[in-house]
Structure 1
Amino acid sequence: MKWLLLMAAIFFQFTSIVSASSFEYGNVESIDLNLNDHEIAVTFLGLGDGEATLIQGSNGENILVNMGGEETGEDLSEILKTYGVKEVSTLIITNRQNLFVDQLTQIISKYNVKKLISTPEITNELKNKKESFPEVEVISWNEGTTQDLFPDLYAEVLFAGNGENEGIDFTLKFFKHRIFLMTSSSDYVEENLLKKTLDDVTIFKVPNWAIEDSLSEKLIQYVNPQISILFESEQHQPDPDIIYDLQDTWSEVFFTKKHGTITIKFTENNYEVFTFPVEKEDYS
């Protein structure tokens, strides 16, 4: 019965996506989101492997959270070009699994990165390589850190660890909207997060590609997001039980493997979802 419900939920999800705007990404030469004052856009990049999230403000600044997979540098550059990104003011690396030093150095040089943010352990390591990017300010985020990123947008770090499957888990607050970018997956992390206020999450980036045991039903129900985002991994497949649990909360689930690049444009009171599919094998 649970599998029947899961298949029905997936069918509903894929047919209900007509509420979002969809474009053939391969036919798009450039994307201008026309951000006005008090607007931002958060884009989950549809790379073939790994995580990368682009945050754009009306002031023209760009923030990049992670860089995709180790072999997706060219695809990342192509998508950033499509979104008109010439500079990245801040690069955030959420955990060691998303740290590729050669790729990091190339991005810092190509996009004139001014700030590099990560866990205390990773930033200490990177400070020893400062000769490769001497002009970059290296910043540590600890649990409880809050930081203004753009006008009207600030980050709050809910957890920062260096253990296996741990990293930075943080939220972005923009007027009434809250985006939860979760990286870590462990019982210890969930115990900590269940003590935080998470009942106002709009968008939830699922950790660790939603592999088996990476996310509990209890935490999913506690977060209760409106939209959930699952990135693609060449090595891992999402756990059907996690997908079922997400959709059981009526969260609309988007897969970068199925939907491609996913852009969410926020105003003070509303948001709109755009998808830019790429030519890939069908999601199954």
Structure 2
Amino acid sequence: MKILLMIIAIFIPSTLIAKAETSISSQVEKIDLNIKEHEAAVTFLGISTGEATLVQGPNNESILINAGGKGTKAELEGLLSLYNVKKISTLILTNDEQELSYNKINQLITKYNIKEIITPPEILVRLEKNLDPSLPISFISWGVGTRKEILSEMTAEVQFVGNGPNEGMDLMLNFFKHNIFLMTSFSHRAEQTFLSKNLKDVNVFKIPINNMEESFSDQLIQNLNPQVSILFTEKGHQPKTDLLHDLHGIWSEVYFTKKHGTVTIKFTESNYEVITIPVEVEE
């Protein structure tokens, strides 16, 4: 059974609405998700460009998947502060489409005491050459089929890795019976791979940020059958109508970071709840 909770009053006064992404942390109180043993949270951060996903477990465990687009360092740090993140064990980079800033990554490593970076092989080579060699960081390359525990009781499995246009590293996170598909690639080759794997029972589907002008096949959407779909949307970009039609056709709850702001999904062993932290839409 899923629980959809689209309110912010649990954590912050209901009258507070952030005026812009970069000022969220100064407009609302700190958010304490109160993550206990056998619980986890996945937060899709409502930054203005690019995408960033925060994965949290008990005992202040935190992992960051991607770090936002160009010029979003202040937004990212503000949102991490909002969620009281002081330390990040691992940074996972699924692609380099959002203009990787080596200076930004160096600063994140230092500020959040990041110990390891996980990427596809090609990105790893560039990071090793361009990041500050004095930083105590381990570089790890993941390939198709890699399955690792990233947090207590949460595993990540690589479904596809590509280096062509619109390709990167695609991850399925598993937490007890919950499946969170963090899709990065939307090439024909990637889609055929996903269909061949017969991926099913997806609770949360993170749709690739670049897929604003193209759509997946109806067959893939039907196979995934996501209960919740998350789109990192940017100004001037909208998903195609047929994608939204397909998602609504399977009764998927669709969230846009541009419209709904930051979206947190908190998981227990058997249920989950969706919590949105909205931003004020510019007139």
TM superposition score normalised by structure 1? 0.89
1:200 — aligned with what? 201
Is structure 2 residue 83 aligned with structure 1 residue 83? yes
Which one-letter code corresponds to 2:220 in the other structure?
Answer: L
Cα distance in 1, alignment partners of residues 167 and 185 from structure 2: 4
SS in 2 for 1:123: helix
Structure 2 runs not aligned, ≥5 long: 10-15, 19-26
1:162 — aligned with what? 163
Q: How does 1:182-261 map to 2 (within 5 A)?
A: 182-234=183-235, 236-261=237-262
Q: How does 1:71-110 map to 2 (within 5 A)?
A: 71-98=71-98, 99-110=100-111
Cα distance in 2, alignment partners of residues 208 and 45 from structure 1: 13
2:22 — aligned with what? none
Which one-letter code corresponds to 1:145 in the other structure?
Answer: T
Contact 1:207 1:214 in 2 (8 A): no
Is structure 2 residue 44 aligned with structure 1 residue 44? yes
2:265 — aligned with what? 264
1:181 — aligned with what? 182
Contact 1:209 1:233 in 2 (8 A): no
Q: For 1:131-166, what per-residue CA distance to the aligned partner results, in whole angstroms no more than 9, with x for missing partners? A: 445311101111111111111100000001111110
Relative to structure 1, the CA distance from residue 145 to residue 133 in structure 2 (aligned partners, 3 Å threshold; closer, same or farther) is farther
Query: How much does 1:279 deviate?
Result: 1.5
Cα distance in 2, alignment partners of residues 214 and 208 from structure 1: 12
Cα distance in 2, alignment partners of residues 214 and 105 from structure 1: 35
Cα distance in 2, alignment partners of residues 109 and 222 from structure 1: 41
Is structure 2 residue 140 aligned with structure 1 residue 139? yes
Relative to structure 1, the CA distance from residue 25 to residue 145 in structure 2 (aligned partners, 3 Å threshold; closer, same or farther) is farther
Query: How much does 1:22 deviate?
Result: 3.3
Which one-letter code corresponds to 1:72 in the other structure?
Answer: T
Contact 2:117 2:138 in 1 (8 A): yes
TM superposition score normalised by structure 2? 0.89
1:4 — aligned with what? none
Contact 2:186 2:211 in 1 (8 A): no
1:3 — aligned with what? none
Q: For 1:164-212, what per-residue CA distance to the aligned partner results, in whole angstroms no more than 9, with x for missing partners? A: 1100001000001000000001111100110114211100001134312
Which 4+ residue blocks in structure 1 deviate beyond 6 angstroms? none
Query: How much does 1:130 deviate?
Result: 4.9
Contact 1:56 1:62 in 2 (8 A): yes
Percent sequence identity over matched residues?
Answer: 51
1:11 — aligned with what? none
1:10 — aligned with what? none
SS in 2 for 1:219: helix
SS in 1 for 2:97: helix
Relative to structure 1, the CA distance from residue 142 to residue 58 in structure 2 (aligned partners, 3 Å threshold; closer, same or farther) is same
Contact 1:108 1:133 in 2 (8 A): no
Q: For 1:222-259, what per-residue CA distance to the aligned partner results, in whole angstroms no more than 9, with x for missing partners? A: 10100000002235322121111111111000010111
Cα distance in 2, alignment partners of residues 146 and 59 from structure 1: 23
Relative to structure 1, the CA distance from residue 130 to residue 85 in structure 2 (aligned partners, 3 Å threshold; closer, same or farther) is same
- Report the RMSD for the aligned CA atoms in angstroms: 1.7
1:21 — aligned with what? 7
Contact 1:123 1:138 in 2 (8 A): yes
1:281 — aligned with what? 282
Query: How much does 1:46 deviate?
Result: 0.7
State how many pairs are aligned.
266
